[in-house]
Amino acid sequence: MNVSKLREKVRNIPDFPVKGIQFKDVTTLFKDSATLKELSDGLFKMYQNKGITKVVGIESRGFIMGPLLADRLHAGFVPIRKPGKLPAPTFEATYDKEYGTDTIQIHRDALDEQDVVLLHDDLLATGGTMVAAVDLIRKFNPRKIYVNFLIELEDLKGRKLFDPDIEIESIIKYNI
């Protein structure tokens, strides 16, 4: 995987969604088929021998690569969504993020103890969203949890919030 080429495709949006945030727009990684294929192939190679049974994607950008990766890994796909979007009974977690507070939910029947879970999202910044997602997944007591990001903002040290038993991978790393 050509990480330099992928890095060049990421668009920076200053002051979004609030002033002072330098937003890393990953949609530019998906709009050309060659880049999308390179990203998909690279993610597949990272996880093809891990025994993944479910890929869990976080709303909303985790819904783009998550299902593609699940299909390639012959795994199921499970969404984690904002409140009011999932129709069946849910577990939920509320957390702080860089510019506010948010809540996420997962269906209570989404996973089980036999699952090996790959939790995917677009960006690791301060880590609040993904830590809340890991907490939700732990309610199911899966065999293993892997965490993956397309981008990591290393200076924000979000990685430090995770227990050492969580294997974390990110593709593009920035020091801001």
Concerning whether 159 is annotated as a catalytic residue, the answer is no
Q: Span 50-174: which CATH code?
A: 3.40.50.2020
Q: What is the predicted pLDDT for the residue at 100?
A: 75
Instruction: Tell me which H or E stretch contains 77.
Output: strand 76-80
Q: Which amino acid is at 91?
A: F
Looking at residue 81, its pLDDT comes to: 98
**95, 159 in Cβ contact below 8 A?**
no
Task: Tell me the average confidence (pLDDT) per consecutive run of 10 residues in the chain, 176 residues long.
Answer: 94 91 93 95 97 97 96 98 97 84 96 98 93 97 98 95 94 92
67 phi/psi in degrees, rounded to 5: -65, -35
Sign, Cα dihedral of 15, 122, 86, 132: negative
pLDDT of residue 17: 84
Q: What is the pLDDT of residue 20?
A: 85
Q: How many CA atoms lie within 13 A of 21 on its CB side?
A: 13
Task: Identify the three-state secondary structure at position 82.
Answer: coil
Of 38, 61, 81, 152, the active-site residue reads 61
HSE (side-chain half, CA atoms, 13 Å) at 114: 4
* pTM (two decimals): 0.94
pLDDT at residue number 96: 83
Question: Omega before 4 cis (within 30°)?
Answer: no
- In the residue annotation, 143 being an active-site residue is answered as no
Catalytic residue among 98, 138, 159, 169: 98
